[in-house]
A and B are shown apart, each in its own frame.
Chain A
Amino acid sequence: TQLLEQSPQFLSIQEGENLTVYCNSSSVFSSLQWYRQEPGEGPVLLVTVVTGGEVKKLKRLTFQFGDARKDSSLHITAAQPGDTGLYLCAGARGDYKLSFGAGTTVTVRA
């Protein structure tokens, strides 16, 4: 069983639309990270959120950490084909390890 549940598993939208990906758990995390992975490559870190309720923006991407530090969301505004990829959330609980969600595959059609 995954410690972090991501939803939806797959998301296909038209260019210009908005989308939200969710990452939920019953566990509390000291920090939560979002990675994006393109086919044939390794994951690349997008952002780390560390404070409950924190909101971070990276251009058209908005990341939010839940108040209780058990969940997070990624919102993309006006999606572009370059946003296509596998989005992974990963939680840290104060030790050396990360627990990863299963990922959300996002496809943005031109």
Chain B
Amino acid sequence: NAGVTQTPKFRVLKTGQSMTLLCAQDMNHEYMYWYRQDPGMGLRLIHYSVGEGTTAKGEVPDGYNVSRLKKQNFLLGLESAAPSQTSVYFCASSSWTSNGNEQFFGPGTRLTVL
């Protein structure tokens, strides 16, 4: 049981390049999320999904796109990377329980855009 996995772990891009971050979970969770973490700003929600085939915008969606074609996978795309997108990206998944929405996080992807 691997939980939530993310690939790649590190990536360096040049401005204008594109890339896709992959998140996979093996806990059969309905909900999946992409966050970015910047110093002093906590975790900010980029996009999320409440089920296969559905996605929604979070707090900071501009410059990112997502897809959830399979329940276990959630992809985050950057079409034209900008230096402002240099950050650590975390994927999380969850199911609704009696305690509400308890999220499980992946190990993160550290992205640098030059």
A9 to B42, alpha carbons, bound, how many Å? 11
- What is the interface residue range for chain B against chain A? 20 to 34
CB atoms of A43 and B41 under 8 A apart: no
A30 to B102, alpha carbons, bound, how many Å? 12
Chain-B contact segment, one of A14-22, A60-68, A76-84, A95-103: A95-103
A9 contacts across to B, CB distance below 8 A: 40
Q: How far is the CB of B22 from chain A (nearest CB, A)?
A: 15
Interface size on A, residues (CB 8 A): 24
Of the candidates B35, B104, B106, B108, the one whose C-beta lies within 8 Å of that of A45 is B104
In the complex, the chain A residue whose C-beta lies closest to that of B3 is A42
Residues of B bordering A, CB below 8 Å: 4, 31, 33, 35, 40-45, 48, 50, 58, 90, 92, 99-108
Q: How far is the CB of A96 from chain B (nearest CB, A)?
A: 5
CB atoms of A41 and B42 under 8 A apart: no
CB atoms of A42 and B42 under 8 A apart: no
Whether, in the assembled complex, A108 has its beta carbon less than 8 Å from a beta carbon of chain B, the answer is no
A90 contacts across to B, CB distance below 8 A: 43, 103
A50 to B108, alpha carbons, bound, how many Å? 28
A101 to B43, alpha carbons, bound, how many Å? 8
A43 to B33, alpha carbons, bound, how many Å? 13
Q: How far is the CB of B73 from chain A (nearest CB, A)?
A: 17
A50 to B107, alpha carbons, bound, how many Å? 27
B102 contacts across to A, CB distance below 8 A: 33, 45, 48
In the complex, the chain A residue whose C-beta lies closest to that of B97 is A48
